[in-house]
Structure 1
Amino acid sequence: MPSDGRTVVLPDYSGNRLLTSLGNIEATPLASLSYVDFVTGDILYLTGDARTLVGSEAQAVMPRQNVVSLVTVTGYIFVQDALPVRQRPGTGVERSPYSPPVRLLAEETVSSSSYLDDQITVTLSSIELHSNDLATFTWGTSKPIHILPGQTAILDMTDLVGARQYAHMAAYNPTSVNDDRIRTWTVSSVHLFPEGTKTFSLTMRQKPGGVATGALFSIAHKLAELRPELMKDCRPLNLELKLVGIAGDFILPKSISLGEDTKKMRVSMMWFAGGIGLTPFLSMLKAITRTNTTDDIQWDIVLALSTREPEVLMPLIDAALHGDGTPNLRLVVDVFSANSVPAGVRVRSTDTLNASLVPHNGRISQAYLTGLGDLESRTAYLCGPEPFERSVLEMLAQKGYSKPVIRESFEY
C-alpha cells in the first residue's frame, strides 16, 4: 500500500488458490510470499503478519472487492540468480484468460472518483439507437449525484443479467469465472449544476459476446421492433440497477468542469479519439457549449477522430455543439477514415463558435501531427482501444511531445 510502503494487498478470486490459505491465516496470522523474475532468475522472499478482510472492510481497502488479505512485511530476502530456468528470450508474458481486471486500491483512486456506500439505484428512462451496435441509454437516479465531464459511471448489472454461478473452470468462456457483473461506461451527457443531477446518459457500443451490452442491446432492438413508443420513455419496464460509483480523472481542468468563475484565459487542446473513445469528448464539448463561464475562456481544440463510421459519429459531435451558451470556441474536427464522410454531415458554427470538419483518408500520421504546428502549446487527451492509444503515443513521442498525455483506456 502506498500509504505505508510495506503492506501487500492480495485480492481473492477464483483460480488464485488463495482461498485454501484463508483459514490458515485466521488460525495463524502469518504469511510468506515469493516473487520470481523469470527473465533474470532473481527471487524476492517476503514474510509478514497477515489478516483477511471481508465485506465492507475489504471494500474500504479495495473498492468492489469482497475479500482481501493484507500482509504487513516484517522481513525479506532477495536472492539473485536463484532460479535455474529462464524465460525464453524474445517471448512475452501471456495473461491468463481467467485473471480478472486489475483493480486499484482506494488510496490509488483519484479524489474526483466516488464509490457509493449508500444504495443509489438507476432506472432506464430512454434509449436512442444510432446504429445497429451503437446506442445511448439514459438513466434516472434515485438520489442526486455529481458527475464531471469525461467521468465514468460504474453499474452493477446483476439484476439484469443474473448473478454469476460459481465455477472453478470454464473452458469455453474463461472470463466468466471471475465476472462480477460490474461494468463501467463513460457518461456522454453533461451535468454542471452544483446540486448534482438525477439523470445521465451512457453512449456505448455492443461488445460481441458481451453479457451486459448484449442484454441492453437486446432490449433496445426488441423495443424498436415491437414497442417503438417505449424507446423515448422506458420507465414502464422498471429496469433498475445499482449505481456502484462515479470515477475517473479524464476531465477538463476542474475549475472549468465545476463551472467556477475563471479569469480570462486561453485553453489549447488536442483530442485523439478512436471510435467509441469519442464519448468523453462529447461530454466535454457539451460542457464547453453550455457553461455560463466560458465567455472568459478562449477555446482552441483540435479533435482527431479515427473511425470506420463517420456517418454515425459525426452527428453526435454536431449535437454536442448545440448548447445554450456562447463559448469562444474554435474547433477543428479531423476525421480519419477509410470511408468517405457523407456530403450532408457537418458541424455547427455560430458567431462565437467556429467549428469546421476536415476529412482525411486513412489513419492519423506523423505528417498530420507536423501540420498541427506547436504541439507543446496544446494539452493532449487520448481515448480509444489499446492499439490506437499506443500508436498515437508513439507518434507524439517521435515528434518530441514532452507534456503528460491525459488518457482514458477501455481497460476497466
Structure 2
Amino acid sequence: MGTISLAMPWSPGESAVQALMHLPPDMDNPTASFMTPQAATMLARAPTIAVGALDAQARPWATVWGGEAGFAQPLGNGVFGVRTPVDRRFDPVALAVVDGKSEGELVKEKGVGRMVAGLPIDLVTRKRVKVYGRMVAASLGRRGGGGGGEDGKEEEGSEVKEVGYEGDDDDGAGEMQLVVRVEQSLGNCPKYLNSKTITPATLHPELLSDSPNLTPEARALIAKCDLFFISSTNGTLDMDVNHRGGPTGFVRILPSSSPDSPTTLVYPEYSGNRFYQTLGNLHTTPRAGLCFPDFATGDVLYVTGTTHIHAGKDAAALLPRSNLAVAITITAARLVRRGLPFRGTPAAGVGNAAAEPGNNTSLLGKSPYNPPVRLLAAEGNLLAQSGQGPQAEQELTATLASTQAITPNVARFTFTLSAPTPVAPGQWVALDASGELDTGYSHMRDDDPTSLNDDFVRTFTVTWASGWDDDAANDGVAPIKPSTAFTITIRRHGPVTGLLFTSLSATHNHTPLAPLPIRGFGGGEFRVEPPAANHNNDDNLTPFVAGGVGITPLLAELAASSTALDPTRVALFWTLRRADAALARDVLVRQHPGLARGARVFFTGGGGGDGGDGDDDVDAVVAELRDERAGLVAVVEGRRLEEGDLRAVEAERWYLCAGTALHKAVVGWVAVGRGKEVVAESFNF
C-alpha cells in the first residue's frame, strides 16, 4: 500500500534565505512528513549516523555514531531504534538525550518528546538521508556490563533495555539505546561527500580541552578535516542535522587579535539543492552545533555557538570567491581523544560522483565536486585586495588586442583597458570570465562537477604594461603612470585560460571574445631586488627559482625600466616541461639573453618533437640555449631540480615562484636547511 504525504510548507527561515538568494517563490518542498522507504533502508544499511539534539540550555550539538551497518533499524510505524557504542562521558548529544543520566537509567518521554535529528550516511556509496522526529525513549549505560533484576528490565514496545553493570571499572565506553518517532525525512545528493570505508573501533575517550578558544590541537584537527556535521533548530518546532564537506581545510579559523577570545569558524556554503534548510534554521535561530571527526585517530571535536550568515558581497569580503558563508563563534567546545566508536579510511567510492584518483593517492575518495580551498580575507587572501585601489572607483574591462603562441600550452595575451589605470610591476590582474562561461544553476553536473562552484575569476601576473618604460613614472618617487594596455603570459589550465586559448587559432569560427570585466589589480609586493639590496651576498647574485610560468614575476621586473636588476647577475634555476622548451627560448634568447648567462634550466617529461613555434625540434631549442657563439651559456639539464643544485649559490635572500610541490621543496632546502630568507610569490586566491 502506498503512503500519501501532504506537501510541507517552507519554514519562515527557509523562505527568507530563498528570497535573499533571489529564488522563485513557488518551489515545492520535497520533505516527506513521515519516514520514507528510502530513509528506512538507509537506517538499516548505513554504517554511521549523525545525530543532533539540544542540551538543557537549548544549545544545539551534533555527534556521529555507528561503526557497521545494522546498529540502527526501522521498528515500524515510523519509528527507528539505535543501539551503538558511544562515549558516555563527553558526547554532548548522548548526554543531552538522557538528561545526563549515564548509568543505564531509562528515560521515557511524556507528551511530544524532545527533538532529535538524524543523518544516516554511507560515505562509500555517498548516500545520506535526513530524518527528524521526537524521542520516545533512551538509555545510556556502561558498555559490556551484565543485566538482571531491576537493572535488566526491558521496556515493552520501545526496544530500549536498561543495562546493569558489575564492578567499578569505567573507561568511558558506553552504549546508547535510542528510539525516535520520525516526523520528517528527505534524501540528499552525493555532492561533497568524500568517500571513506568505516570499521568499528574501541572507545577510550579522554577530554583534552573544553575551552571555546580552541587549542592548537583542536585547530589542527579542523585543518585536516574534509567534512563535519552541523545541527540547527527552527526554534522549538523542528531541527536538522546534515553534512558539510569539501577539500581538506575548507573550514577556516578567523584570526583573532586577542588570545583569550572565543574562536570563530567560517565555512563556505557550496552550491546545493537551494532548499536552505540549515540556513533557514540559522536565520530563525542563529545557533549551531558542529562535530568534526578525525577518521584516522578517532579523535573528535564538538562545538556549539552563535552563527551569522554572510551573503553576496558580505560573503565575498569575508571569504573571497564565496556567495554564501557561515561564521560560527564558539560558546562551548569539547576536544575528545579516541571518542569515536569507528575509524575511516579513504575509499575509491562508487557511482557517478566517484573520483578517479589516478596516481595521486591524495585524491583517493575525494568528491569531484570539491572546489579549491578558499582562504579568508583576514588570512591574506590576495583576491581580497582586488577592487581596493584606484580602479575600484570605475568599472574596468579588458579587450583582447593580440595573442602570441609560445608553446602548445603557453601563450602571451595583450589587452587594452577601457580606461587608463595605474598598474605597477609585480601586480596581478583579476579577470572575470563568468559572462562567457557561467551556464547558470544546476543541482548536479557530473560532466563538469567543479563548474558548480566556479566564479570564473582568475588572477594572472602582469608581465608588461604600457608606461613601464617611462623612467620618471617608475623611479619609485613619481606617481605610477596610468597604463592603457597590459600583457599576461599564461599556461592553458582550466576553463578561463581555455577560453583565451580559443583566440589563438587563425581558423576559429566563434564570436570574438567580449571585453572581460576586471575585478581589480592587486599585489605589487613581490619585487625582485637588485643585487646591491641582497645583503650578505658574497657572490653578488640574486637567485630566483621558477617553476614553469613561475618565471612571470621576473619578466615583470625586467620589463620595468626603473629596475636596477642586472639580468646577468641573476642566478636563475628554472624547471619546466621539455614540451615547453620554446618558452625558455622566448625568454632567454629573444627577450632577455642576459639571463641565460646565469641560468640553469631543468627540463622534465617528454617533448613529443614540438618545441612550440611550429615543428621546431626540442633538441634544437636546447642547442640554441647552449649557443656560446651567441653569448648564451645556459646550463641545460634533462632532470629534476635537486637540493645540491642550489648550493652553488651563497645568498642570504632567495626568490621563488613555483607550484606547491616545488615551493615546499625549495623552502625546505633553502629556508629550513640553510637558514636563508625565501621571498615567495603567493597565489592563495
TM-score over 0.5 (shorter chain): yes
Task: Provide structure 1 residue ranges, at least 5 long, that are not aligned to the other structure.
Answer: 228-235
C-alpha distance after superposition, 1:327-375 (max 9, x if no partner): 9x996111122654444447999xxxx98522223222344223x142x
Contact 2:310–2:326 (Cα < 8 Å) also in 1: yes
Shift of 1:124: 1.2
- Same amino acid, percent of matched pairs: 32
Work out which of the residue numbers 323, 331, 335 in structure 1 matches 2:601: 335
Among 145, 165, 180, the alignment partner of 2:455 is 180
Gaps of 5+ in 2: 1-253, 348-360, 469-473, 605-617
2:476 is the counterpart of 1:197: no
Asked which structure has the greater RCO (Cα within 8 Å, sep 6+), the reply is 1
Root-mean-square deviation (CA, aligned residues, Å) is 3.9
Which residue in 1 is equivalent to 2:292?
35
Report the CA distance shift for 1:395/1:238 in structure 2 as closer, same or farther (over 3 A). Answer: closer
> Do 2:602 and 2:641's aligned partners in 1 also have CA atoms closer than 8 Å?
yes
1:66-92 C-alpha deviation (Å, 9 max, x unpaired): 222221222222222111112449986
* 1:406 maps to 2:679: yes
Instruction: Give distance in 2, aligned partners of 1:2 and 1:53.
Output: 17
Q: Distance in 2 between matches of 1:397 and 1:264?
A: 15
1:107 counterpart = 2:360: no
Of 110-119 and 299-308, the range deviating more from structure 2: 110-119
> Residue 384 of structure 1 contacts residue 410 of structure 1 at CA under 8 Å; is this kept in 2?
no
C-alpha spacing 1:87/1:263, structure 2 compared with 1 (3 Å): closer
**Deviation string for 1:372-394 (max 9, x for gaps)?**
142xx242233333344344445
Deviation for aligned residue 1:14: 1.9
Q: Deviations over 1:35-78 (max 9, x none)?
A: 22222222211211112122222222223322222212222222
Matched, 1:77 2:334: yes
Could you tell me which residue of structure 1 aligns to residue 638 of structure 2?
361
> For 2:526 and 2:275, how far apart are their aligned partners in 1?
37
What is the TM-score of this pair, normalised by structure 2?
A: 0.49
Q: Is the 8 A contact 1:110 1:248 kept in 2?
A: no
Give the drift of 1:113: 6.6
Letter in 2 for 1:13: Y
Q: Deviations over 1:281-325 (max 9, x none)?
A: 2112323xx21x628x99842111122132332222444438xxx
Alpha-carbon spacing, 1:263–1:216, altered in 2? closer, same or farther (3 Å) = closer
Size of the alignment, in residue pairs? 377
Displacement of 1:27 in angstroms is 0.9
Letter in 1 for 2:464: S
Q: 1: CA distance between counterparts of 2:292 and 2:337?
A: 12
SS of 1:276's equivalent in the other structure is helix
Structure 1 segments, 4+ long, off by >6 Å, are 110-113, 262-267, 346-349
Candidates 366, 377, 389, aligned match of 2:663: 389
Of 356-365 and 64-73, deviating more is: 356-365
Residue pair 2:375, 2:381 contacting (<8 A) in 1 also:
no
Aligned counterpart, 1:233: none
Once the 2 structures are TM-superposed, how far is the Cα of residue 107 of structure 1 from its aligned partner? 2.0
Is this contact kept in 1: 2:567–2:592, CA < 8 A?
A: no
Q: Is the 8 A contact 2:568 2:598 kept in 1?
A: no
| C-alpha displacement of 1:2 | 0.8
Q: Is the 8 A contact 1:113 1:249 kept in 2?
A: no
Deviation track 1:137-170 (CA, whole Å, cap 9, x = no partner) reads 1112234444443433221102233x23222322
Query: How big is the shift at 1:108?
Result: 2.0
CA distance, structure 1, for counterparts of residue 383 and residue 266 of structure 2: 23
| Cα distance in 1 between the residues matched to 2:574 and 2:315 | 40
SS at match of 2:445: coil
Q: Which residue of 2 aligns with 1:232?
A: none
CA offsets, 1:211-239, max 9 Å, x none? 22222111221xx3479xxxxxxxx9572
Superposition map of 1:8-407 within 5 A: 8-15=265-272, 19-88=276-345, 94=364, 95-109=366-380, 114-116=385-387, 117-118=392-393, 119-161=395-437, 163-189=438-464, 191=468, 192=474, 194-207=480-493, 210-221=494-505, 224-225=506-507, 237=512, 239-248=514-523, 251-252=526-527, 268-287=541-560, 290-291=561-562, 294=564, 300-307=569-576, 308=578, 309-321=580-592, 332-337=598-603, 340=619, 341-345=621-625, 356-370=633-647, 372-374=648-650, 377-396=651-670, 400-407=673-680
Retained in 1: the 8 A contact 2:381–2:684?
no
Displacement after TM superposition at 1:136 (Å): 0.8
> Does structure 2 retain, via aligned residues, the 8 Å contact 1:164–1:181?
no
Q: In 2, Cα distance between the equivalents of 1:141 and 1:195?
A: 14
CA contact (8 A) 1:154 1:184 kept: yes
